[in-house]
Chains A and B, each alone.
Chain A
Amino acid sequence: MVCVLPGLGREKGKEGEERVVASAGKMRKEDTLKLISAEGFEFVVDRKAAMVSQTIRNMLTSPGSFSETEHGEVTFPEISTTILEKICQYFYWSLQYASGKETEFHIEPELTLELMMAANYLHT
């Protein structure tokens, strides 16, 4: 489980595959959302960051109750780990950009087409 936050790296955790990197303050479960890739890797991100994606936002804010809303987990069986990681990076970059820090978001050419399709699906 990797939580990608801007300015912080990844750390190896104690329990199996779970590696959670906390931000400065405590991360409450209600503030986070778990995104699961096709290979089963889990990315824990801020809800606010995940809401950059229209699809995820609709899922979480729709009047009906999706299981995703209840468990705080969203599975993407069609999105690979590398792509999902890049998407999480984009979420945080997007928040940074909106808050005024306008930097370049670099995309590796080999990821372009897949990332484009995933971004199209996530409406982001």
Chain B
Amino acid sequence: MKKLLRLFLLDLRLLTKNKTFYLKLILFPSILILILGTVFSDSSSQIKSFNVAFYNADKGSSEGAHFVSLGNVLRDNVFKQEDLKKIINLKETTSYKQGKQLLQDGKAAVFVYVPETFTKTAMNNEKTNIVLMGDNDKPLDKDVVATILDRFNASVKTMNVEQRTILQTISSKDSVPKDKIEKVMSLISGNKQLSLKIPEVPTNKAAVPIDAMQYYSIAMVVMFSIMTAFVLVHSIVDEKQNHTLFRIKSTPTLNIQYVLGKLFGIILSVVIQMTVVIIISRVVFQMKWGNPLELLVITIVYAFAIGSIILLWGFIAKDHVTVSSLASPVLYIFSFLGGSFITKSGLPDSLRVIQEIIPNGKAINSYLKVCQGVGLDGMYIDLLELIGIGLIFIIFNIMVYSGKRWNKSAIYSHGKKPAEADVSK
């Protein structure tokens, strides 16, 4: 165990003596987080609660003894529903003019006007005409309300078709009593089914919504951890070229100790990198990351998986150029598929499946769950799968390292220095 500790501390010590470490692995992610923080802390790109002026002039429609007002439904069951209350502060006005004034004064981001004939036109399956006005400086708020109204209109149309169909069916049967017809009408017009949900709100009741800053901070950290692993993998090539690997192999060090020592070096470096980025984003932007212990568990498990995959390339590669040639494609392809460039929801369905399979995709999903406060219970399968991936690749690593017939020229260069430059430095 002490030997293992020495091996991975060696990598860390060598890494900290390398200026690239501070530049690539600490400074770059930190700068990126600072940029992301500056961009996403801008109010126009973040959904915060906003005021909506609402004037309901709808006079409704009477269907027998039952009175229906879709304007009231929109107000009471849509805008005032619990989920939307967190985002929308509804300010009812007594006139169209008053609503417009609130908008002009900047006291409301959006003004919604429901006209007198709204219910009647909707019931007659004619074109409805809710008026929506928005502050041009707050396009996101306007879009949110527009989406809600679109969904509401669609639901009203569906309800209308259902109602007509059922009424036609009932009226064709003379034996149906009038009170029963009214009851059915009442049920159809019942507004429970008209309540809307914003798609971004997580289905888990305890979950907290994620903002763009949180998402991209996580995505960037996960992406940079791949780069960290590649930088550390260069140390294996260094050891081949400076003959220290020959020396290590001639000491009573087991192959598994060497492989795990290298892997633990990667894990520790990724944890350090992650910690620095979390601290910076927390201190500078008050970003909420969730439970630190859960974050640590995910980081270790993820670094274990991604580290063991990239480590294999280090054992196979003959020189630094070979390592570097794979680093960029792997970094960009994995990052794209894992959701570091485009959010998971923005990926097509086929790629979303891949996102859920690859280690960095799993890591992003797990970090998001921690930020949402879901807890480890909601991600244990992902974590177990990451551990599984790591274990499989450790076996491959040991096989390659043990079975490697080291090229004689790599062991003895007879005083000749390697011709290539060390690109990791």
The answer to whether A and B come from one shared complex is no
